[in-house]
Amino acid sequence: MRSIVTIVEPMVKSIAHLALCAVLLLLAACTTVPVTGRKAMHIYPEGDLVRMAASQFEELKKDTPLSTDPELNARVKRVGNRIAKVAAYDLPNAEWEFVVFDDPEQINAFAMPGGKVAVYTGLFKVALSDADLAVVIGHEIAHVVARHASERVSQQILVAGGTLAVAAGTSDMKSSDRRLILAGVGMGTAVGVILPFSRLHESEADAIGILYTAEAGYDPRSAIHFWQRMAAEKSDSPPEFLSTHPSDATRVRKLRSLMPEAVAIYEAGL
C-alpha cells in the first residue's frame, strides 16, 4: 500500500508550481477596485466580456417577457440613472441600460459587464420605495464597477489550470488514488476558494453600493430593513460556508458597520 506522503507529494508539487504561476500573473495583471482599494487580478480582457454581455443581454430581452408597467420602468430608470451618474467617477465609459423583466416569481436583479442591469418585477414585493430599489441597483452597479465578472473568469481560468496541473502530476498514480486526490482538490477549491471569493464579491458590492446609494441621495438606512425583508422571503438557506452569498445576519451586520459613513454622505447632500 502506498503511503499518504507518496500519494499527496505530486499534488503538492503541482500546487506549488501553480502558486508560483499565480503570483507571476498577479503581478502582471493586478488592478485596484474603486472605493474599497482592494487589489484584484484580471487576466481575461474586459472588452471581450463587455461584448459578450451585450450580445447575451440582447438575446435575453428577446427570450424573456419585458414589463410594460410604465411606473415600474420609470422607477428603475430614474433610480438607475441617478446611481450610474455617481458611479461614472469610477467607471466613466460604461453604457448603462436598465430593463425590467416581467416575472413576479423572481425576487431578484442582476448586472452584466459594461452596464447592463435587469430587475425582475418580483423584486417590487420587497423593494417598497425608491430607496429600497436604490439599495439593489447600487449593489448591481457596484458589481460592474468592481469588474467582479472579469475577476471571476480569471479565477476560473486559474482553478482550471490548477486542476489540470494536479491531473498531470498524478497521471502515473493508481486510478483510485488519483480519483481521491482530484475529488479532494475539487471540493477544497469549491469550499476554500470559489465560494469565499463569491461571498467577498457580494460583500464588496454591498459596501460600494451603499455608498453610491447615499451619494445619489437615497437614505442608506433603508438597506437594513430591505435585506431583512429579503431574508423573510427565503424558506431556507445553506450554511454560509457552502453559499455564494454571505448569510443574512452577516450581510446586515456588515451594512450596520458601514452605516455611519453612508449616512454622513447622505446627510451632507441634503
The reply to whether 97 belongs to the active site is no
With cell 494536479, the residue in question is: 166
Distance, CA of 199 to CA of 224 (rounded, Å): 18
Q: For the CA atoms of 162, 166, 167, 169, what is the dihedral angle to 10 degrees?
A: 130
Point out the catalytic residue in the list 58, 95, 140, 233: 140
Q: Which long-range contacts (CB under 8 A, 24 or more apart) does 61-69 make?
A: 61/99, 64/101, 64/102, 64/103, 65/101, 65/102, 65/103, 66/99, 66/100, 66/101, 66/102, 67/100, 67/101, 67/102, 67/121, 68/102, 69/100, 69/102, 69/121
Residue 162 neighbours by CB under 8 Å, 6+ apart = 14, 15, 18, 185, 189
- Three-state SS at 118: strand
Catalytically active residues are 140
